[in-house]
Amino acid sequence: MSDTVLNCGYVPLVDCAPLVIAKELGFAAEEGLSLNLLRQPSWSALRDLLAAGHLDAAQMLSPMPVAMSMGLGGMPARIDTLMVLSVNGTVFGVSNALRAELGPVLFGDADALLAALAARGGAPLRIGVPFHYSMHRLLLSYWTSAAPGLAIEEITVPPPRMADAVADGFVDAFWVGEPWGSLAVHQSVAELMMTGRDVWQFAPEKVLAARHDWVEANEDIVRRLMRAIYQAAAWLDTPRNKPLAVEILGRSEHLSLSPYLIDPALTGHLSPSPTASPAVVPRFLQFHNHAASFPWRSQAAWIADQLGADVGGMEKAKACFRSDLYRRNLSGIGADMPGASEKEEGALRVETDVASTRGHMILAPDAFFDGRTFDFSSENR
Amino acid sequence: MPRGGPNVGHMIQNLRILVVEPNPERVREIVDALSEAGWSDVKALAQISALDRTVKDFAPDIVLIDLANPDRDTLEHISYATETTKRAVALFVDQTDDDLTQAALNAGVSAYVVDGLKMERIKAVLQTAIARFKIMRQMQSELDAAKQALEDRKTIDRAKGILMRQRGMSEDDAYNLLRKTAMGQNKKVIDVAQALVTAAELLS
C-alpha cells in the first residue's frame, strides 16, 4: 500500500520541528503518511492556501484558527486546531539605543521592564511582531495594558527581517520566535530582555491546524497524522535527543538555518546579548512534556477573550480546539492526558499533580506575570 | 484613452490600483497589462515600509500583491488598522466568489480591496491581473527549469569526471555506465550522478 500524501504548510521557524522530525525520522511513514512539507512565505499565504484546500494541514500561530473560526481577519473559515505543536518559544528584545535608555533591568523581569519602558515617556514605542493574530501580539497587548501610560505602535515585520528592522531603526523593539531573536543578538543589533514565558508561563504558540470539513471527512488520516506528530513531539522533548535534533533540523532542507541558531531554542540556553553568558530558561520551548500538545479549550477561550469575543465567539473558539479528537485519536497509543479539557488558566504557580487518564500527571506552571487567573467554564461566566 | 478589454466603460474608469512589487520588470508587465485593459491610474510600490503613507496619499481602490511576497502579513495588518489609514484595505478578494479566489491563488496573486467596492468592478481588474500573473509564473517556472537543467548538467559532468579519473574510462563509457546503473536501479541519471558526487566528496 502506498503512503497517503499530505500537503502540510509551515513557516521556517525552529518550532516547526515536530513536522520536520515526523517526516525525517519516519514517524509519518510508520503511520502510512508521506508529509509533503511546503514552506510558506507569510502567515497570510499559508492561511489562504489552507482555507482554499491547497494545503491539507498546516502549522499555524495559535490565535489564527481561533480568529478564523470567529470570522476575524482576511480569510474567515472553520479551521480546527488538532493539537498544540509547541508551547512558549518567543523572545522580546530591544534595540541597542533603547537598551541604553532603560537602565539596569534583569533578564526575564517582566514587571521591571514594563516599568522602565513606561517611565521612558516620549514617542510611542514601535514594536515589531510577526503577525496580527499571533501569540506574540496577544502577549504584548496583555503585558503592556498593565501600564496605561505606555504608548506602543504594533508593526508587522516578517520574522527573517526583524534583525534588519531593529538595526535600521524601523522598530525600537520586537517580539519574535526563534531563531530570529538570537540572530539579532548574534548581529549585535539588539538585546533580549525576556522570553514569552515571563508574561505567560505556558502559552500555546503554534498549533497543527486543518479545515473543519476536511477533518470530519478524513477521520483515519487525521488520526494517523496526529499520532505521527505526537511521536515526533515526544522524541523532541527527550533530553538525550536534543543534540541530534539540532543536527537533523540544521541539515534539513526545510529550515535552512545554521545549527548555532537552532540550538538556543531547543536547549533553552539563550544569550541575551553578545557579551552576556547564556541564560538558562526552563521550558523555553516545549513540544510534549506536561501535556504540551493537548489543545486545552481554555487556551482557546483566553485567546478569544483577548480578541474581544462575545459569548457566541467564545463558543466557536472553544469548539475549534479539538480536545475531543486528541482524546479519541491518541489514547490508543498510550498517550497520557489530563482528566479535564479546560483549566483555570494562570492558576498554576508551581508544577502540579493532576488527575489524568492513566492515573496522574504533572502540569507545568501556567501563571501570568500579573498573577491574574482566567476561568472560562460556563458555570463561572 | 482606454482601449480593448471587455469591461471598459465609465464603470471601471478612475479605479485606483496600487501594485506592491519590488521587481521593476514585473511591475512594468503588470502596469502594461492593466493599462492595456483600460486602467491607467496605477501606482507601483517596491517598499512596503512606505505602504502606510502611500495608502493614505494615493487612496487606492485595490492593492495587488504577489501571493509569495513576505510583506503580505504587513499589508494584512495595515488593513486592520483602520484608525491610522481611515480607508480600510479589507478582504482577500471576495470569499463568496470561490472560482475567482481559486484562480487568484493558482496564479499567485492576492488582491486587497478597499471598502465599499462592488465585486463586479473588482472582477475585471483581478481577471487582468490573474492572466498576467499566470504568464509571469509560467516564465518563472521555465527559467527555473532551465537553471535546474544547467545544474544537472554540471553534476553529471562531475560524475563523469570522477569515473574517468578513477576508472580510466572514456567520457562516453562513463556516461553509459551512469545511464546503465540508473536504468538498473530504476533511477534518473542525475540521481545516480548526484550519489556518486556525494560519495566521492565523503571519501576524499
The answer to whether A74 faces chain B, any CB pair under 8 Å, is yes
The pLDDT of residue B86: 41
d(CA B104, CA A366): 43
Residue B165 CB neighbour total at 10 angstroms: 11
A61 beta partners = A206
User: Could you write out the DSSP letters of every residue in B156-176?
Assistant: HHHHHHHHHHHH---HHHHHH
pLDDT digits (tens, 9 = 90+) for A223-252: 999 999 999 999 999 999 999 999 999 888
The answer to whether A63 faces chain B, any CB pair under 8 Å, is no
d(CA B53, CA A361): 53
Distances (CA, A) of A35 to A5, A18, A49, A61, A241: 6, 12, 16, 20, 22
Judging contacts by C-beta atoms under 8 Å, the chain A residues touching residue B68 are 41, 45
Mutation target vs B (from A40, A42, A174; most B CBs, 10 A cutoff): A42
- Euclidean distance between the first and final Cα of chain A, in Å? 51
Domain positions in chain A are: 4-88+203-259+284-339, 90-202
d(CA A233, CA A236): 5
Q: ipTM of this model?
A: 0.84
Q: What is the mean pLDDT of residues B72-80?
A: 77
A270 beta partners = A279
- CA atoms within 13 A of residue A373's CA, in its CB half-sphere: 11
The pLDDT of residue A231: 97
Q: What is the mean pLDDT of residues A116-130?
A: 93
pLDDT at residue B46 greater than cutoff 60: yes
pLDDT at residue B15 greater than cutoff 90: no
- CA atoms within 13 A of residue A305's CA, in its CB half-sphere: 15
Judging contacts by C-beta atoms under 8 Å, the chain B residues touching residue A156 are 73-74, 76-78
The pLDDT of residue B1: 38
DSSP state of B23: -
pLDDT at residue B87 greater than cutoff 50: no
Say what percent of chain A tops pLDDT 70: 99
Any residues with CB less than 8 A from the CB of B62 and at least 6 apart, and which?
B15, B16, B17, B18, B111, B112, B113, B114, B117, B122, B125, B126
Q: Which of A74, A131, A157 comes nearest B79 by C-beta?
A: A74
Structural domain A90-202, CATH architecture: 3-Layer(aba) Sandwich (3.40)
d(CA B72, CA A158): 9
- Euclidean distance between the first and final Cα of chain B, in Å? 68
Judging contacts by C-beta atoms under 8 Å, the chain B residues touching residue A127 are none
> Does residue B101 contact residue B95 with C-beta atoms inside 8 Å?
yes
The pLDDT of residue B6: 45
Asked if the A4-88+203-259+284-339 domain carries CATH number 3.50.50.60, the reply is no
d(CA B51, CA B20): 9
A170:B79 CB<8 A = no
pLDDT digits (tens, 9 = 90+) for A319-368: 999 999 999 999 989 899 999 999 999 999 999 999 898 889 999 999 99
The answer to whether A141 faces chain B, any CB pair under 8 Å, is no
Distances (CA, A) of A6 to A28, A52, A59, A136: 10, 15, 13, 29
Give the start-end residues of each E strand in chain A: 4-10, 33-39, 57-61, 79-88, 90-95, 125-129, 152-156, 173-177, 190-195, 204-211, 269-270, 279-280, 285-286, 352-356, 359-363
What pTM value is reported for the model? 0.85
pLDDT band at B76 (very low <50, low <70, confident <90, very high): confident
Judging contacts by C-beta atoms under 8 Å, the chain A residues touching residue B101 are 52
Distance from CA of B82 to the nearest CA of A (A): 13
The average confidence (pLDDT) of chain B is: 78
Judging contacts by C-beta atoms under 8 Å, the chain A residues touching residue B48 are none
Fold match flag (A4-88+203-259+284-339 vs A90-202): yes
Distance from CA of B101 to the nearest CA of A (A): 8
A204 beta partners = A87
The answer to whether A42 faces chain B, any CB pair under 8 Å, is yes
pLDDT digits (tens, 9 = 90+) for B94-148: 556 677 777 777 777 777 766 556 666 677 777 888 888 888 778 878 888 899 9
Q: Which structural domains are found in chain B, ordered by start?
A: 17-142 (3.40.190), 143-203 (1.10.10.10)
